[in-house]
Amino acid sequence: MNKRLSGKRALVTGGSRGIGAAIAKRLATEGADVALTYTSAPQKAEETVKALQAVGVKARAIKADSADAAALTAAVEEAAAALGGLDILVNSAGIIAVGPVESFKLADFDRMLAVNVRAAFVASQAAARHMKEGGRIITIGSCNADRMPFPGGAVYAMTKSALVGLVKGMARDLGPRGITVNNIQPGPVNTDGNPDSGEFAELLKKQFVALHRYASADEVAGLVAYVASPEAAYVTGASLTIDGGFNA
């Protein structure tokens, strides 16, 4: 593996499992020291840290609920102190709740806004204070920002659409400092929380995904690694879709 991120320091929110863990591992494989946040399941977080350390980089797990702005800001500061600075932030923490508009709980609405949108701003604001020219801020959005083809996903789609505007605005603010800000929009990804088997998954694969399969978390991580790399220095304010043709 090309060590194109050697010497870089990265923080991945929600990096203990699923897409976040795959991203953390890919950044480490390419040479970056990596801190990650987790909300629960400390054993999963430590397993991921050990996997990162096994490739010879510094790694640290930090417990922080992304819905808690103070805790998330403190986690960014801890990561920067532990790694000696920050060059890359990946806002990977995210949650989903679905249900009809008529009965959708306001508490679920508020928490999704807090984790999926506010946390991305809070972490980016804190991390940008540590970044120098060449810094990278990357959010993990969703192809549902552009297309929500089934009922029940209105609020989730709204939160992911909000990231598109946030990234465009932050790209303008941070561009003069040589910091890029981008948004990765996956389609269906095979994770523990969203397995590629079962009745719903089969419906998605056959009727919505052009490639008739889910992505692996590693495929998403590969696109994140590119955006974090020197090769992507002229990519900013972009929403890059990796959805197997879901939105085609």
- The residues that bridge with 89 in the sheet, in sequence order, are 11, 137
Provide the annotated active-site residues: 156
Q: Cα 44 to the chain's mean position, in Å?
A: 17
- C-alpha distance from residue 208 to each of 113, 122, 217 (Å): 27, 34, 19
